[in-house]
A and B are shown apart, each in its own frame.
Chain A
Amino acid sequence: MLRDQSLLVGLSGFTIIMGLTILVGIIIFAFGNELAPKSPDTDGKLAPYACGESIPPKKVRLNVENFFIYAVYFMIFDVLGFVLATTVGKPVNMLLPLFYAGVSLISIVVLTATWRQ
């Protein structure tokens, strides 16, 4: 096999890299702080951008009901993906994830066919 041993092995090596990349981000941020000109903040500049219309800054409410339906679907299939991924190469266990995949497939077909907004 052509592949050698990795230089940094395991999650600890990856944690170092994660720290390094965040450090690079902070350095770029600090560079921007140093280099960018400071000019006086006016009210107009600090107001939210709204294409010339006067929209007051407030939090937008989103339709939580629809959001939850998708979130539940997301959960079911994320679990499916995870179950399939972690049973890789274990012959004895493979039938059960496949059964789970089949059940989710049938249920999504039935649910999307009957779901009326």
Chain B
Amino acid sequence: MSNLLTTLVAVLFFPGLSFILTYALWCQWVSRKAAARLQNRQGPLHTGWQGILQPLADFVKLLVNEDITPAAADKPVFNYSPIAVFAIPLAATFLIPIQSLTNLRGWEPIASFEGDLIIVLFLMSVVILAVFLGGWSSGNVFGAVGATRAALMMLAYEIPLSLVVVGPAILAGSLQISEIVDWQVASVNAFLRAPDIQGLAVAAVLFIGVVIYLICLLAELELRPFDISEAETEIVHGWQVEYSGKKLALLNAGHDVKMVLAAALMTSLFLGGPAGPILPPFAWFILKTTFCVLVLTNLSVLFARFRIDQMVAGAWKYLVPLAVLQVMAVVALSGVI
């Protein structure tokens, strides 16, 4: 009975649904505030302390706005793809280890199985399919152009992304995210006890992986250098152009949840997951993922938008070979041959 209660609390409240959604709003606030300060603006100020409730206010405002479905749109696909854009990354975040409810120093994902890393990657690319369908079915020229750009971008960044993610999996000898976290904790502890050249080499190779992963995440999240599919200045808002009201609210919330998922996956695969001294795991999770969000925001403020051909060519000419080399170096270092 108490086990059932624990499961319910974990799924619905902490570290499940409520926590992830609240945390997504927090990430949006951090991202907007940091971008504003980097651009010498103030960012949100009026709703709550330093405008911390602004993302929630925006969500509620969009929810009660009038919702228009254009006459030319393919109605079922157009109406229901925002639900997929929102629900899929939210479900994938349940596979990331955050905090155990029964053990203050422990962590485990709410759902977990062998190979969940592959499922997370698969779900991340299925979101793009929903994006493509949503933009394509809107019956708008800008929407269709944005949708094809999103699909083309996915073909470019998905490969380096999935290749670098395989790196830590090979080193850990498992495709389960929580076991990769365990491997990182164990190997960092072993390195701190007896530093050796092997550990430094692994860290250097994985650092290349982090860099490639960050670049791919910028494309995945459609942040500045790769916001080609929504480029306001050329195709108005790309695939989102016809969305309004509750559907736009769902799309925005989905984007925030995707940012949490991306930052959480980066934390779990490269930054040691929710592990750390003194503080409980969820505090470390928040610190590390907020750090990832800040890095992503900083990069997106720093760069100007690439053209679609520059982005695709860059990904295939530089990122893919680098990612393959990284995997080969990881295989050589892990000594499984």
Q: Which residues of A contact B (CB under 8 A)?
A: 1-11, 13-14, 17-18, 20-22, 24-26, 28-29, 31-33, 35-39, 41, 45-51, 55, 57-60, 62, 67, 70-71, 73-74, 77-78, 80-82, 84-86, 88-91, 94-95, 98, 101-102, 104-105, 108-109, 112
Cβ-defined partner of A98 (8 Å) among B142, B148, B174, B328: B328
Instruction: Enumerate the 4 nearest inter-chain pairs by beta-carbon distance, A residue then B residue, closest first.
Output: A32-B246, A57-B72, A6-B112, A25-B83
Is there a chain A Cβ closer than 8 Å to B162's Cβ? yes
Which B residue sits closest to A13, measured CB to CB?
B111
Contact assessment for B163 and A80 in the assembled complex, using a CB-CB cutoff below 8 Å: yes
Residue contact B155 to A73, C-beta cutoff 8 Å: yes
A28 to B83, CA, bound (A): 9
A residues near B56, Cβ cutoff 8 Å: none
Contacts A28-B86, A28-B249, A70-B156; is A5 near B108 (CB within 8 Å)? Answer: yes
| Interface residues, chain B, with chain A CB atoms under 8 Å away | 3, 6-7, 10-11, 17, 63-72, 82-84, 86-88, 90-91, 94-95, 97, 100, 102-103, 105-113, 116-119, 136, 138-145, 148, 152, 155-156, 158-159, 162-163, 166, 169-170, 173-175, 178, 181-182, 185, 236, 241-242, 245-247, 249-250, 253, 275, 312, 316-317, 320-321, 324-325, 327-328, 331, 336-337
Contact B111 A17 (CB under 8 A): yes
Q: Which residues of B contact A77 (CB under 8 A)?
A: 159, 163, 320
Q: Is the CB of A7 within 8 A of B163?
A: no
Task: Select which of B64, B142, B250 is within 8 A of A25 by beta carbon.
Answer: B250
Assembly CA distance A38 to B64 (angstroms): 10
Main secondary structure of the interface of B (DSSP, over half): helix
